[in-house]
Amino acid sequence: MDIKDIFSKLGLDEKSLNSGSLEVFTPVDGSKFASLKTDSAADADTKIAAAVEAFKIWRTVPGPRRGELVRLLGELLRKHKESLGALVSYECGKIYQEGLGEVQEMIDICDFAVGLSRQLYGLTIASERPGHKMREYWQPIGPVGIISAFNFPVAVWAWNAALALVCGDSIIWKPSEKTPVTAIACQKLFEEACKQFGADAPKGLSQLLIGERDIGEVLVNDKRVPVISATGSTAMGRIVGPKVAARFGRTILELGGNNAIIVAPSADLNLAFQGILFGAVGTCGQRCTSTRRIFVHDDVYDALVPRLKKAYAGLSIGSPLDAKTLVGPLVDKLAFDAMEKALAKAKAEGGEITGGGRALADKYTEGYYVNPAIVEMKGAADNVQEETFAPILYVFRYTDLEEAIARQNDVPQGLSSSIFTRDVLEAEIFTSEAGSDCGIANINIGTSGAEIGGAFGGEKETGGGRESGSDAWKGYMRRMTSTMNYSKALPLAQGITFDT
Ligand code: NAD
């Protein structure tokens, strides 16, 4: 792939991508491919002010017309799917097929949001007073701040932006400092969509803040931004959440996961095998929904786990741009060091490790390719509490479903979970009030690869936020209850009399 060709297809000016101090490296070989000008706190102030002004206009544009802008964005994404997918792959290191998949997710959420733009429904509510009506309205709330992680550099923006825009909000995006070039490409496509849309797209409707966490902090602390949607590590959410709460802002937090699959005795082991393999090694273990733990019933352990180990030994690891590759690189050396540390800890705790260690180090001295690892944990009470953002799969045995569900839940995070079973009672228990405590609980599919139609997010230290489908749009609006008196009297609620 020729990166210059990709830049030109996406209308990116190479010179301006090399005019600043924020260095951007590709995980493919660790080489630097851009150095961007960063925004100062004063720049952020100006951009937030512009987003506030744009909001005042945008909120008055009818919802279905706002949907038209998102439709145009979706069309441009369709047109540029291959080049944007390639840039995603180059900048964050996921394989090209997953880069394309990520852009497809953007297109899907645009389609969803276009339909939604005609369905921002409130309720009509029966009033207890004669001659009165009660209605609920959903109103635009203001500029929405979007902070995104490196591993879904463009889809997370789209999940938030498409909904916020049809809801009548302006948007301010602070992408990961590891993946800002894809953000510039998206901003360009958005500006093109605005041009096609016409004059009622106000100037400054979408703002981009380039920089490290300090510029994210400026956004987080600004009370002109009523909603902060932040995707990233739990450590980040632990700082951002209280700061936004202290100014009575709203957060949509999408943080770390520690996702598990239970493989029951009746499981279709072919499905379980595929689901686990994709979930554990896909995106080199760098998805918030990556499969990190499996609880395998004693009866099927020997039929499944050796098969997984064999598959791990034959995985095609290599450049994410090569069509044959299934496992690309980790994002950087820090990620590699974290993987090494987690494996050393597992070993010290008696874990039996298959795989692990650097791969292709001769070919890519500055690219961090690894052999995905399986760690068989022998102790019955073992569990793993931390998320390590790397392809490490911890394997546990179980005998009793209740105990397996309890162990699955016994971690600080609560994002994604699944069970492979053909026993309908087990499947129902898993999704019951006494089952999985995660935001996502699947049956006979793995933990990763969510569709945009459902609300996406998780509980506990995953942050509790919901994005994407279902009624997640309500997070981007304010709710107004309005009572209308069409009688000639003024009866009070709850039967109170107040005669003068
Ligand atoms: P990160 O927490 O290092 O950074 C995420 C973003 O937060 C970046 O843009 C960063 O600059 C910004 N940031 C960091 N500290 C900040 C602060 N104090 N104030 C404001 N902004 C701040 O995460 P990462 O390494 O880019 O991504 C990996 C993590 O993201 C993993 O934990 C993964 O599980 C999680 N993730 C979660 C979801 C989800 O939907 N739940 C999706 C993708 C990734």
From the CB of 52, is ligand 1 less than 6 Å away?
A: no
Position 381 scores a pLDDT of 56
Position 46 scores a pLDDT of 98
Contact 120, 112 (CB under 8 A): no
Ligand 1: distance of its center to the CA of 421 in Å? 34
Position 382 scores a pLDDT of 74
Position 449 scores a pLDDT of 87
Q: How far is CA 284 from CA 95, 209, 322, 326, in A?
A: 9, 28, 15, 9
Active-site pick, 68, 254, 376, 461? 254
Contacts of 136 (CB under 8 A, 6+ apart): 122, 123, 124, 125, 479, 480, 481, 482
> Distance between the two ends of the chain, CA-based, in angstroms?
82
Residue nearest to atom 11 of ligand 1 (CA): 213
191 annotated active-site: no
Residue nearest to atom 22 of ligand 1 (CA): 213
Q: Measured between alpha carbons, how far is 500 from 495 in angstroms, rounded to an integer?
A: 16
C-alpha angle 451/230/413, rounded to 5°? 70
Contacts of 159 (CB under 8 A, 6+ apart): 105, 109, 452, 456, 467, 468
From the CB of 255, is ligand 1 less than 6 Å away?
A: yes
- Mutation test of ligand 1: which of 109, 154, 209, 236 has the most ligand atoms closer than 8 Å to its C-beta? 236
**In the chain, which residues have pLDDT < 50?**
none
Sign of the alpha-carbon torsion through 184, 243, 437, 465: negative
Position 246 scores a pLDDT of 98
DSSP 67: H
Contact 368, 336 (CB under 8 A): yes
Amino acid of residue 44: A
- As beta bridge partners, residue 207 has 172
pLDDT, tens digit, for every residue of 286-300? Answer: 999 999 999 999 999
Position 479 scores a pLDDT of 98
What is the three-class DSSP state of 6? helix
Contact 281, 448 (CB under 8 A): no
Contacts of 464 (CB under 8 A, 6+ apart): 253, 457, 458
Residue nearest to atom 13 of ligand 1 (CA): 213
Q: Give how far the C-alpha of residue 163 lies from the chain's centroid of Cα atoms, to the nearest Å.
A: 14
Position 414 scores a pLDDT of 98
- Mutation test of ligand 1: which of 213, 219, 385 has the most ligand atoms closer than 8 Å to its C-beta? 213
Q: Can you tell me the ipTM of this complex? A: 0.98
Contacts of 292 (CB under 8 A, 6+ apart): 257, 258, 259, 260, 280, 285, 384, 387, 388, 392, 393, 394
Contact 237, 413 (CB under 8 A): no
Contact 87, 157 (CB under 8 A): no
